[in-house]
């Protein structure tokens, strides 16, 4: 296990280097000049040239890349071209809402989708199975922003149970924190509930046909014990893969949800940075997201041996 863990860590290094180079070149070679954006339309060529020199944009691209990589390895992602604030400071300020939303969404997803998938597989062909599959199709088909506006209209405006928009940190109390996360978390999790429920159902259907499931039932074990201890554990590898990937997608794909519910997270930050061509902020967020993908994939691979004892690295 330790050797596998080390090999995966070493394999992630060239992946991150290639990604960093791709992101750097993609942004630098795209049309537009950040110096012109910062200086404004009325700036003289001399003022634009002065800003380019101050930002190091007048140097060759490879020189800019090596300087940027050296600073990044020291934990310095640079300064925002627009706000003149440290990029790490900006990300740290916006990280809590996004991570909180993603964690709440993945909790809702697992608690709802896995039992639904297990029940659908257990009652294959019944009305319960058809209902779960129909709900899954709706979850896949309806855009996230539409679901967001529907839950706002029903639970916030009509019923008045929850706040409409905004975010409150844990410092304001758990009640304020949780009440403002319920609707956006349910909205964000809608697609993943449909995906994981279908994946759970498909995996369970394969496992329920195995001989050891019939043996467990023949021994007189309760149906709940057979389903959740024997069948679900052996069907857990593909389910864990989808759950882990879904969490990474939630962190990086909360742009629409944060916009609908007015949450000041990384999604709003990346939109503002792209519109302003704020290179350091865009690069830092993309690399942070890529690092999260690598880390979660590593955790998923390591969890296989825990979930399924037949797997050993």
Task: Give me 144's structure tokens.
Answer: 């996230």
Is a pLDDT exceeding 60 seen at residue 313? no
DSSP string covering 28-78, please? HHSS--HHHHHH-TT--HHHHHHHHHHHTTTS-HHHHHHHHHHHHHTT---
Residues 195, 31: Cα–Cα separation, whole Å: 38
Assess whether pLDDT exceeds 80 at residue 90.
Answer: yes
pLDDT at 10 (0 to 100): 78
Degrees to nearest 5, angle at CA 127 with 124 and 133: 70
pLDDT at 118 over 80: yes
User: Do 81 and 279 touch, CB atoms closer than 8 A?
Assistant: yes
The pLDDT of residue 30 is 64
The answer to whether 116 and 200 have CB atoms below 8 angstroms apart is: yes
Quote the mean pLDDT of the chain. 78
Residue 66 within a domain: no
Residue 71 lies in a domain: no
- Of 289, 286, 274, 276, nearest to 21 by C-alpha is 286
Residue 208: which domain range? 90-271+286-307
Distances (CA, A) of 179 to 19, 20, 29, 164, 169: 38, 38, 44, 10, 11
Residues in contact with 197: Cβ distance below 8 Å, sequence separation at least 6, in sequence order: 112, 113, 114, 116, 117, 120, 132, 135, 136
Query: Is residue 34 in a domain?
Result: no
Q: What is the pLDDT of residue 31?
A: 64
The pLDDT value given to residue 258: 80
- pLDDT bucket at 310, cuts 50 / 70 / 90: low
Mean pLDDT confidence for 224-241: 78
Residue 27: per-residue pLDDT: 64
pLDDT tens-place string over residues 185-221 = 888 888 888 888 888 888 888 887 877 777 877 877 7
- Start-to-end CA distance of the chain, whole Å, equals 5
Alpha helices in the chain (DSSP H): 2-29, 34-39, 45-55, 61-73, 87-122, 127-141, 144-151, 174-179, 182-207, 211-218, 223-225, 232-234, 236-252, 255-260, 266-276, 279-307
CATH number of the domain at 116, please: 1.10.3720.10
Is residue 200 included in any domain, yes or no? Answer: yes
Assess if residue 291 is contained within a domain: yes
- The whole-number average pLDDT for the span 88-108 is 84
Would residue 45 count as lying in a domain?
A: no
For residue range 253-272, what is the model confidence (pLDDT) as tens digits? 677 788 788 888 887 788 87
Distance from chain centroid for Cα 150? 23
Q: Does residue 140 fall inside a structural domain?
A: yes
Residue 35 has pLDDT above 80, yes or no: no
Give the mean pLDDT of 83-101.
82
The count of structural domains within the chain is 1
pLDDT of residue 272: 79
Which residue, chain included where needed, has tokens 């690295």? 313
What is the rounded average pLDDT of the residues 92-114? 85
Asked whether residue 280 is assigned to any structural domain, the reply reads no
């Amino acid at each position: 296990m330790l050797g596998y863990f080390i090999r995966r860590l070493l394999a992630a290094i060239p992946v991150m280097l290639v990604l960093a180079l791709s992101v750097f070149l993609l942004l630098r070679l795209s049309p537009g000049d950040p110096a012109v954006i910062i200086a404004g339309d009325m700036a003289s060529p001399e003022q634009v040239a002065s800003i380019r020199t101050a930002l190091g944009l007048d140097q060759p691209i490879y020189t800019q890349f090596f300087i940027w990589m050296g600073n990044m390895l020291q934990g310095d992602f640079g300064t925002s071209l627009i706000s003149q604030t440290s990029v790490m400071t900006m990300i740290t300020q916006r990280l809590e809402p996004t991570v909180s939303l993603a964690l709440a969404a993945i909790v809702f997803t697992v608690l709802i989708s896995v039992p639904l998938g297990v029940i659908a597989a257990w009652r294959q062909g019944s009305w319960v199975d058809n209902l779960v599959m129909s709900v899954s199709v709706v979850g896949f088909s309806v855009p996230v922003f539409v679901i967001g506006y529907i839950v706002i209209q029903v639970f916030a405006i009509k019923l008045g149970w929850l706040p409409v928009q905004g975010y409150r940190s844990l410092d304001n109390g758990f009640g304020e924190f949780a009440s403002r996360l319920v609707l956006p978390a349910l909205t964000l999790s809608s697609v993943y509930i449909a995906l994981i429920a279908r994946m759970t159902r498909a995996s369970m259907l394969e496992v329920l046909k195995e001989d050891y499931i019939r043996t467990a039932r023949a021994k007189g074990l309760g149906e709940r014990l057979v389903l959740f201890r024997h069948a679900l554990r052996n069907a857990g590898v593909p389910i864990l893969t989808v759950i882990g990937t879904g969490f990474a997608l939630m962190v990086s794909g909360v742009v629409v949800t944060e916009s609908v519910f007015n949450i000041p997270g990384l999604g709003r930050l990346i939109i503002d940075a792209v519109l302003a061509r704020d290179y350091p902020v865009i690069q830092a967020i993309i690399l942070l997201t890529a690092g999260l993908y690598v880390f979660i994939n590593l955790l998923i691979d390591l969890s296989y041996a825990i979930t399924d004892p037949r797997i050993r690295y």
